[in-house]
Every structure is written in C-alpha cells, then in structure tokens.
Structure 1
Amino acid sequence: MSSAESAVRPAPRPVRQAATLIVLRDGSEGLEALLLRRADKANDQNSGASVFPGGLLDAHDRQLHGCCAGGLDDAAASARLSIAEGGLDYYAAAVRECFEEAGLLLAQDAQGRLVDLDGLGEAQLAALRRAAAAGTDALLAMCAAQGWQLATDRLAYFAHWLTPPGMPRRFDTRFFVAALPPGQRVNVDGVEIAGHAWLRPLDAIAPERGLKLMNVTRRILQQLAQFRSVDACLAHAHALRDIPLAMPRLADGPGGSRAVNMEEPAYAELAFVDPEGHGHARHTLEGGLVLQLSPRVWRVTADMGGGTPGEHSYFVGGGSGAEAAWALIDPVPAHASQLDVLRAKAPGPVRWILCTRGEPTGEALAALQRAWPDAELATALAEAGKRLQLADATLEALPVPGDTLARQFLLMPERLLFAGAAAAGACAQAAWIASASGFLRAAAAAVNRT
C-alpha cells in the first residue's frame, strides 16, 4: 500500500456497545425464537432484516441497576462478561430494548413473580409502552411506580460478537437468551420494527423462507437449532464458562463481498492481508488470481483450467528504481503458460529465483533462464542461514528437517515463512506460513497440524 493510498483511507469507525435478547418459547414442533423484521430505511445496512430484539447501550442504563432483581449485581454480571465493570448495563439494556421493540418485559413484582402484562388493561399497557419508548428514565419511573424489578437474573449469557472491520457501523454485542414471560404477547413498536415471527431456527434459515438475515443472526440460529427445548438451551447457556469473541472479517470473491467466519480456511489470511477490513482480500482461492498479500509480497496462483487453482508462486521484495529488489519463489509451473503470467505480473525486476524443493534442472531451468535472463538462481541460499537483502526486508534460508534439498525462506519483518509443499518446520521467528497451496495460516496452527 502506497503512502498516498494510506492518506485517503478513512479512519477506523468507532465500535459501539450493544445488547441483544434472544427470546425463546416451546412450540408444538420444538424450540422457537422470536425474530423481528426491521423497518425499511435508506442508508441502513440492516434495513428489512430479521433480527433479535436489541440495540445500543444507553448512557442511562447504569441507573437501572437499582431496578434489577437482587440475584445478579454488577460485580457478578461483569465477571460473567469478563469485563472490569458495567456488566449489568448489558443485561439491563437487553431487557429495555426487548420491551421497547417487542413489547415484552422481563420484570417481576415484589413477590418475585414475573409480570403479567396481558393482565393489565389495554390503555394502561399502551401507556407503559409509550413511556418506555421515551427512554431509560421512563423505565425507571415505571419500575418505581409499579413496584417492579427487571428480571435480569432470568437472562443467560450466550454469545459475544463484534461487527467486522470495514463495515459502516460496528457493534460489540453481547447476546443473552431468556424464556418468553408467561402472560405476555409480542407487540412491536411499528416504527423501528415492522413485524415479527416465531420460528424454529432451522425454518428461519431455510432458503425458501426468504428472510434477510445478517451473518451473526444466521450463525446464532444455527447454534439454537441443536436444542429441543427452552430448558435445554438455558441449561447449556448457564453451563458456559469462557465465551469467546467472534469477529468475522470481510473479503471479496465470487458472488461478491461477504463476511468470513472464524472457522473458514480464509479467515487467518484476512488478518494478515486486510486487518482493517478495506475489502481487497479474497475469501476464495481462484486460478490465475494475483493478490498483494502485503507491501512486500505478491502471490500468483496458477490456473489449472476453468479457474481451478493450482500451486502458488510468490514475488517478495520491494523498493523502486535502481533500488528495487525482488525475488521470485517457486516459479516452476505445471505448464509453460504460467511463466508468461508470472513475467506479466511481476511487481518489479526479478533479481533472484528461489525454489523450496531444490534447484530446477533440464527444461525447467532453461525456461526460467529464458524468462528472466538477468536473474540469479540463488544457489548462495542453498546453505541454511544464508540471507538476501530485499530493499527494506531480509529473506533467510532455513533447512527442512529430514530433507537435504528442500528449503524454507523466512521474510522479515513480516515474519512470513515460505514453506513450499513441505510441512512447515519449527521456526520460532515465523508468525505466518505461506505454502505452495491454500491460504496463509498462522504459524502456531501450522505447528499443531504437523
């Protein structure tokens, strides 16, 4: 990335704290979850989406602590969410947002009984909902006037998601699950929320249902689909200990840009190529694709026909003009046309040719010499520990244990190890592994698989 490109890129967007309440009930055919359909709005990334009740934390949510049932205080809530303080804010906000958007209120009376909203008169219930829509202070007044407490101890912490970098709006959201309070019916606000449905999780995500689902909603519905009842889901959530943060990453590819989840093969590479989520990384390997992995590394994937990806070659180096210094790693192709592609895509003059699987011979060597007559086949790197200086980076040769011909090459300061087709050998300095095929992967993961 050039300095000019860096100058015009916007600053990272702020991350806002949010809470979501997944309301569950036992239907005639199994567990059902409440989904709200957001109203259609221009310039809203979630317009028309089916979502769980939830929203941003309010600056006054902390004032609701005194209205929360005694079974959960801020210290216990914060410990559950693994934060220093303010954990009860999330629980209170989840209850508040659910009442504002869906008309469901997890609250209890002085005797500890869940509030029966349907038992109130229509006029009184409508007044309460109008007051709740006015803000947190109204909910405080409501609890004081009715003698109610928010039943935050009925919520079970379930998931923690962070919107991918690069999205127009980013939310750090805690998800809770709770059972539908008896004696209450959904009554959406008609402003932010246009409608609602109770659906089995598998029905909600079925393509024929046609719901617009955000990635996080779809993933949580997939999790919920494993439970047969509300009690089973709540028992699971209460038994959870450390809930990891899930943060997808954005990437482009066939079918357009999409969120890539943490278990997908491309995920680790995205953290290396595009940590800020500008969208230029790829979620799918494609034959013929040329991708800049970093300012010092380009990857060219061979096309085996019809876009089927073959093995990778890498250009490594940098600099400009007379100081440009590029090395080409593993250029020996499966077919001769790949050399033409490599010559056309070189980011600068190739001064060295390196191979991870021994020096090329015969026709392969002759083809390389015709393609890059001024390049040096870097036999000087045949011994472990030898280094090349590439502009502002160094490339060091490392042996492959048990193989007298194969070499790996460590690029510093990227800490990127070019391992070729061999299993990556131990290298304490390497943070990333670039293989002859597949995506970049974290070095620790590579060691664990060998």
Structure 2
Amino acid sequence: MNDSVAANTALLTEDHQARTSEKRHPPRTPRDAASLILMDRSGKVPRALLGKRGKGHAFMPDLYVFPGGRRDPGDNRAPLAHPLRDDVLDKLLTRTQARFHGHAARGLAVAAAREMMEEAHLSLTPSEYAGALCPDVSKFRFLARAITPPGQSRRFDTRFFACFCDELGLEPTAVRDSDELHDLTWLPIDAHESHPLPRITRVILSDLVQALAEDPSLPFGKAVPFYYSRNGRFVRELI
C-alpha cells in the first residue's frame, strides 16, 4: 500500500471512530446506493458537481456530496436508452451476494441518473424519451465502492459512477438547487478545501485525480477501489 492510500484509509478510520465514540447505533444492513460524479472538463482542471445537504438530514448534514441516493425497487425495472458497458456491469457484480443480479446492478446506474435529476435537475434521458425515466448510462465508469461501517445512523453500500458532461450533451450551467441539495457547485477535483466534504468524498476525489492522471479519458473496466470496515478499521482493496 502506498503512502497516499495508507493516509486515506487512516483518515477514514479516524473519522469513523470519532463519530461513533460517544454513541453507537444498532446493527444495520447496508442499503444499496449509488452516486454520480459528473465532471465538466471544459477547463484545464476537471470540475465535479457537488451540493450541500441540509441541516435536517440524519446522514452527513451540512456537508457537500455528489448527487446520489439509495436504489429504489423501481430502479431495477426502469428502461435504459443505452445500457451499461459489459465491462462495467461485470465489475458491479464482483464481490456481491448471489441474490445481487444484473437487474440490481443496472438499477444502481438508474438510481444514480434518477438522483441526478431529482437533486440537480439534470436529466440523463435523451430527448426522444422525454417525459420518462429512460437514462443513457453507457458512459458511466464504475469508479469506487464504499460501505458505511457499523455503528452509524445510516449504512449504505455505495457505488460511485463517473462520467463527463460533454459525453451526454449536458450543460453545466443548467443545474438547479433542489430540496435535497442546495448551493450546487462545480468544484475543481484537486482543490476543494474551501468546502466541507465527508472524508469518503475526499478519498474518492483523490482516487479520481489519480485515475485521470494515469489516463484523462478515464477508461472503462479498470480495477475499482473498494472501501469497507474490518475490526474497526477501514480497508482498501481493488476489485
């Protein structure tokens, strides 16, 4: 493990222990969730879309996060204008239980697209399918996976997707605040210290910076960092 990866996992462990030192919540099974890291690469440094969660949220209040949320049952059944690439789908099925099937994996991509529409008012549904939820997820890269450790008020098994605005014909200036996220902001992926972000968000952004440095096109089907807790400490492995 290199120094950067070791530092990131140490930060995640420290953050978790600090938040559960006074009150641990009963055991909860993590719920499947998805986030979309939407990037504007029109400038020298790519910018990612984040928004601020309200004070009333039980999970990560007052912090800036990527649009996203849990996978709803209907997401598995929603049609797709263009499906996930096979190499991305295969990665999503890695290290999952037998009952997690292809429909659940594609449902995660739908959830990410749906939440982007609900939280930032950016539709990933092509104009010929207007009026329906029928997103184009063919440009989604599977970037990272993270499971909230035990003892916290909410637990999610989150898959982080990434894609570029220009790939889907999206206009960055079209984003609008919602009840879920406000102060929607395009932050440079390597300079976001001015905004309060969850530790895991900073770690995922660090992974993204490294991936883009290796190849600015952000290739599909690459090894995916997987963060989870073991004996009270975070572990990072590649899947």
State the TM bucket, normalised to the shorter chain. 0.7 to 0.9
Once the two structures are superposed, residues 189-241 of structure 1 have per-residue CA deviations (whole angstroms, 9 ceiling, x without a partner) of 1x11121111112211x2xx1x2211210101112223668x81522xx1414
- 1:81 matched to which residue of 2? 92
RCO greater where, 1 or 2, for CA within 8 Å and sep 6 or more? 2
- 2:80 matched to which residue of 1? 68
- Which amino acid counterpart does residue 151 of structure 2 have in structure 1? G
Q: How do residues 282-431 of structure 1 correspond to structure 2 at under 5 angstroms?
A: none
- Which amino acid counterpart does residue 26 of structure 1 have in structure 2? R
Q: How do residues 38-437 of structure 1 correspond to structure 2 at under 5 angstroms?
A: 38-41=53-56, 44-64=58-78, 67-72=79-84, 78-82=89-93, 83=96, 84-85=100-101, 86-110=104-128, 142-143=131-132, 149-180=134-165, 181-184=168-171, 185-189=174-178, 191-204=179-192, 206=193, 209=194, 211-226=195-210, 232-235=216-219, 238-241=220-223, 243-248=224-229, 260-262=233-235
- Report the alpha carbon displacement of residue 80 of structure 1 after superposing the two structures with TM: 2.8
- 1:280 matched to which residue of 2? none
- Which amino acid counterpart does residue 54 of structure 2 have in structure 1? A
Q: Which runs of 5+ in 2 are unaligned?
A: 1-23
CA contact under 8 A between 1:32 and 1:199: conserved in structure 2? yes
- Which amino acid counterpart does residue 215 of structure 1 have in structure 2? R
- Which amino acid counterpart does residue 92 of structure 2 have in structure 1? L
Taking structure 1 as reference, are residues 188 and 250 closer, same or farther at Cα in structure 2, changes over 3 Å only? farther
Taking structure 1 as reference, are residues 249 and 212 closer, same or farther at Cα in structure 2, changes over 3 Å only? farther
Identical columns (%) = 30
Taking structure 1 as reference, are residues 27 and 248 closer, same or farther at Cα in structure 2, changes over 3 Å only? farther
**Distance in structure 1 (CA, Å) of the matches to 2:146 and 2:231:** 14
**Distance in structure 2 (CA, Å) of the matches to 1:234 and 1:104:** 22
- 1:400 matched to which residue of 2? none
**Distance in structure 2 (CA, Å) of the matches to 1:10 and 1:45:** 13
Larger Rg, first or second structure (1 or 2): 1
Once the two structures are superposed, residues 56-98 of structure 1 have per-residue CA deviations (whole angstroms, 9 ceiling, x without a partner) of 111211220xx2034438x876523124412111011110011
Once the two structures are superposed, residues 110-164 of structure 1 have per-residue CA deviations (whole angstroms, 9 ceiling, x without a partner) of 5xxxx9xxxxxxxxxxxxxxxxxxxxxxxxx922xxxx84101121111110011
**Distance in structure 2 (CA, Å) of the matches to 1:28 and 1:72:** 27
**Distance in structure 1 (CA, Å) of the matches to 2:25 and 2:114:** 34
**Distance in structure 2 (CA, Å) of the matches to 1:149 and 1:61:** 10
**Distance in structure 2 (CA, Å) of the matches to 1:161 and 1:183:** 27
Which secondary structure does the structure 2 equivalent of 1:202 belong to?
coil
- Which amino acid counterpart does residue 45 of structure 2 have in structure 1? G
- 1:135 matched to which residue of 2? none
**Distance in structure 2 (CA, Å) of the matches to 1:24 and 1:10:** 35
Taking structure 1 as reference, are residues 53 and 244 closer, same or farther at Cα in structure 2, changes over 3 Å only? same
**Distance in structure 1 (CA, Å) of the matches to 2:177 and 2:230:** 32
Which secondary structure does the structure 2 equivalent of 1:92 belong to?
helix
**Distance in structure 2 (CA, Å) of the matches to 1:250 and 1:200:** 34
- Report the alpha carbon displacement of residue 11 of structure 1 after superposing the two structures with TM: 4.2
**Distance in structure 1 (CA, Å) of the matches to 2:218 and 2:124:** 15
**Distance in structure 2 (CA, Å) of the matches to 1:22 and 1:175:** 7
Q: TM-score, length-normalised on structure 1?
A: 0.41
Which secondary structure does the structure 2 equivalent of 1:152 belong to?
coil
Once the two structures are superposed, residues 248-298 of structure 1 have per-residue CA deviations (whole angstroms, 9 ceiling, x without a partner) of 4696xxxxxxxx5436xxxxxxxxxxxxxxxxxxxxxxxxxxxxxxxxxxx
Structure with the larger strand share? 1
Q: TM-score, length-normalised on structure 2?
A: 0.73
Taking structure 1 as reference, are residues 151 and 70 closer, same or farther at Cα in structure 2, changes over 3 Å only? closer
Q: Which runs of 5+ in 1 are unaligned?
A: 1-8, 116-140, 252-259, 264-450
Taking structure 1 as reference, are residues 249 and 34 closer, same or farther at Cα in structure 2, changes over 3 Å only? farther
